[in-house]
């Protein structure tokens, strides 16, 4: 049965060489991808897999204790090293592990307490440092870091008898991001030179879990309960909203230059595959990932890219898991043309606003920071003009009831939308 399943994996991954959208394998949760298109993940948290355009899917590891694996599978930017969670054959316990693609071998990285599990969640782009989570007992776990020289290091928890976890790490290992529990909630944190700091929004409140950080350690992405966020050392905190307030989402991947983010939105309380992925840039805002792929002339192979989980450091590949033909859970990889990589300006949809009619506040989508926003009445008088600060909102509470024209000046072009002030 196992051999038949392995063959099905290989056959299911065969695609035309000129394709730009690839269905990697059924139930393939692709969680990371390198600059040269080596995608990694797991099959429903079972077999560890590696995918390339030329070779298709290869199973690189299988938990031998019959348990599901936890954590995320990561790959170095050159595709030579992979981190993940595997069963140590000497102890039959799942633990953080490191895979050498050239030698096809796993190295088991240990546990902070003997007999307890550990799991990998992130890795430096050169593959030399792995971070994740290590259990102290059945109820408590700590963020951990492994290096060849220093071995496994417990990053600790700043609240006694509660857990923490490390999800990502920058290139020199000085900034690690993840979460910290208290007695009631879970908050996004980063460790800088071993010292834990809570990530704050514009009002100074703690935010939700952090998932990834750029190589320079200056830009962090995550999810603040309902909405994806981007925290930048220079630009500050930015939350990505949805035109429908009943939607929730998360940022899941960011390019090395911090200019492009992928993630997803779905209606609150619905299943994982009910929503859709997005690609975002500061200049162009948020664009639906399926619409973006179609704008490039790509055949999406009937896949709704509902959960993009990573973007390559150079922005050329996006991977994740979606729903094919509305019923089949399918891993996917999208290869963007070099002339139109995600780190370049994204060709976004037109500006949209909601609600319409509006009372006090208008929310805008696909508006970049510093774009000029103007509002005119129907006799052509300009009644509001301002620069977008990144909030993507305009206060219209002082306008009289009636019909208006909103104009957005972006990249030397003008877009207009009619709306009603109620």
Structural domains of the chain, ranges and CATH numbers in brackets: 21-335 (2.120.10.30), 352-421 (2.60.40.3080)
Kindly state the average pLDDT of the residues 291-318.
Answer: 94
- What pLDDT is stored for residue 15 in this prediction? 33
Q: What percent of the chain has pLDDT over 90?
A: 70
Most confident of 16-25, 150-159, 330-339: 150-159
232: Cβ–Cβ under 8 A, 6 or more apart, which residues? 218, 219, 220, 238, 258
Contact, 21 vs 300, CB < 8 A? yes
Exposed/middle/buried for residue 1 (C-beta within 10 Å: 0-12, 13-18, 19+): exposed
> What value does the mean pLDDT take over residues 98-117?
97
The DSSP line for 348-389 is: PPPPEEESSSBSSEEEEES--TT-EEEEEETTS-EEEEEE--
More confident residue, 158 or 7: 158
Q: What distance in Å separates the CA atoms of residue 35 and residue 156, rounded to the nearest whole number?
A: 33
Model confidence at 323: pLDDT above 70: yes
Residue 273 pLDDT > 60, yes or no?
yes
Q: Is the pLDDT of residue 342 over 70?
A: no
What number is the average pLDDT over the span 123-130? 97
Task: Note the pLDDT tens digit of each residue in 132-151.
Answer: 999 999 999 999 999 999 99
Provide the token pair at 197: 């700091």
Q: What is the pLDDT of residue 339?
A: 62
Which residues, listed in sequence order, are joined to residue 146 by a DSSP beta bridge? 130, 152
Q: Is the pLDDT of residue 129 over 70?
A: yes
pLDDT value for 241? 86
Provide, rounded to the nearest whole percent, the portion of the chain with pLDDT above 70. Answer: 92
Which residues 6+ apart lie within 8 Å of 255 measured at CB?
214, 261, 311, 312, 313, 314, 315, 342, 343
Q: What b/e string do you get for 284-307 counting C-beta neighbours within 10 Å, with b at 16 or more?
A: bbbbbbbbbbeeeebebbebbbbb
* Predicted confidence (pLDDT) at residue 114 exceeds the cutoff of 90: yes
As a whole number, mean pLDDT of residues 68-72 equals: 92
- Split at pLDDT 50, 70, 90, the class of 340 is low
Residue 363 confidence (pLDDT) above 90 = no
In degrees rounded to 5, what are phi and psi of residue 49?
-130, 155
Strand order in the sheet with 227-232: 210-213, 219-224, 227-232, 236-239
In this predicted structure, the answer to whether residue 170 has a pLDDT above a threshold of 90 is yes
Tokens of 200: 């704050």
pLDDT at 349: 53
| Cα Rg of the chain (Å, integer) | 22
Q: Which contacts qualify for 240-247: CB closer than 8 Å, 24 or more apart? A: 240/278, 240/280, 240/286, 241/363, 241/392, 243/352, 243/354, 243/363, 243/365, 244/354, 247/275
Q: Which helix (H) or strand (E) holds 292?
A: helix 289-295
- Rounded mean pLDDT, 380-396: 87
pLDDT band at 351 (very low <50, low <70, confident <90, very high): confident
403 within 8 A of 378, measured Cβ to Cβ: yes
The pLDDT value given to residue 221: 98
Where residue 413 falls among pLDDT bands split at 50, 70, 90?
confident
pLDDT interval class at 6 (50, 70, 90): very low
Q: What is the pLDDT of residue 180?
A: 98
> Mean pLDDT in the chain?
89
Segment 23-34 shows an average pLDDT of 96
Rounded Cα gap, residues 403 and 293, in angstroms: 35
User: Residue 252: is its pLDDT beyond 90?
Assistant: yes
Q: Give the C-alpha separation, 18 to 132, whole Å.
A: 37
Q: Please report, for residues 173, 266, 305, 326, the alpha-carbon distance to residue 271 in angstroms, rounded to integers and kept in the order given.
A: 35, 8, 14, 13
Produce one character per residue of 241-265: b if its CB has 16 or more CB atoms within 10 Å, e if not. bbeeeebbbbbbbbbbebbbbbbbb
Provide the pLDDT for residue 275.
92
Residue length of the chain? 422
Torsion on CA atoms 159, 186, 224, 231, rounded to nearest 10? 30
pLDDT attached to residue 21: 96
Are 272 and 266 a contacting pair, CB within 8 Å?
yes
Residue 269's pLDDT band, with cuts at 50, 70 and 90, is: confident
Per-residue pLDDT, 11: 32
Which pLDDT value is given to residue 13?
A: 34
Mean pLDDT of 40-67: 93
Asked if 76 contacts 127 with a C-beta cutoff of 8 angstroms, the reply is: yes
Residue 365 has pLDDT above 90, yes or no: no
**Torsion angle of the four alpha carbons 126, 128, 132, 137, in this order, in degrees rounded to the nearest 10:** 170
Tokens of 418: 């009619």
């Amino acid at each position: 049965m196992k051999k038949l399943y392995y063959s099905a994996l290989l056959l299911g991954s065969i695609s035309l060489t000129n394709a730009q959208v690839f269905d990697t394998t059924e139930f393939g949760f692709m969680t990371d991808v390198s600059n040269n298109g080596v995608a990694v993940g797991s099959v429903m948290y079972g077999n560890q897999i590696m995918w390339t355009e030329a070779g298709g899917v290869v199973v690189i590891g299988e938990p031998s204790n019959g348990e599901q694996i936890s954590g995320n599978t990561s790959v170095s930017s050159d595709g030579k090293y992979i981190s993940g969670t595997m069963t140590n054959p000497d102890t039959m316990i799942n633990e953080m592990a490191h895979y050498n693609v050239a030698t096809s071998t796993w190295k088991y990285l240990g546990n902070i307490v003997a007999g307890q599990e550990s799991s990998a969640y992130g890795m430096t782009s050169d593959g030399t440092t792995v971070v994740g989570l290590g259990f102290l007992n059945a109820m408590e776990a700590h963020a951990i870091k492994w290096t060849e020289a220093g071995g496994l290091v417990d990053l600790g928890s700043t609240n006694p008898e509660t857990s923490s976890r490390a999800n990502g790490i920058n290139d020199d290992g000085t900034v690690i991001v993840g979460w910290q529990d208290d007695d009631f909630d879970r908050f996004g944190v980063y460790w800088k030179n071993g010292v834990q700091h809570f990530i704050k929004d514009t009002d100074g409140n703690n935010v939700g879990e952090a998932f990834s950080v750029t190589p320079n350690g200056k830009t962090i992405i995550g999810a603040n309960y309902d909405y994806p966020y981007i925290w930048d050392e220079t630009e500050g905190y930015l939350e990505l909203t949805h035109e429908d307030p009943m939607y929730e989402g998360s940022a899941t991947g960011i390019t090395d230059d911090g200019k492009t983010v992928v993630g997803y939105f779905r209606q609150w309380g619905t299943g994982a595959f009910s929503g859709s992925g997005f690609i975002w840039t500061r200049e162009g805002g948020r664009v639906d990932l399926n619409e973006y792929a179609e704008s490039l002339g790509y055949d999406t192979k009937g896949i709704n890219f509902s959960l993009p989980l990573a973007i390559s450091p150079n922005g050329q590949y996006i991977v994740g898991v979606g729903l094919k033909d509305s019923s089949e859970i399918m891993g996917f990889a999208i290869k963007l043309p070099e002339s139109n990589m995600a780190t370049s300006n994204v060709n976004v949809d037109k500006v949209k606003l909601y609600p319409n009619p509006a009372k006090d506040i208008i929310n805008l989508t696909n508006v970049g920071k510093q774009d000029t926003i103007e509002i005119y009445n129907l006799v052509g008088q300009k009644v509001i003009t301002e620069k977008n600060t990144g909030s993507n909102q305009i206060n219209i509470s002082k306008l009289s009831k009636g019909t208006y024209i909103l104009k957005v000046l972006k990249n030397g072009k003008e877009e207009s939308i009619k709306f009603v002030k109620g």
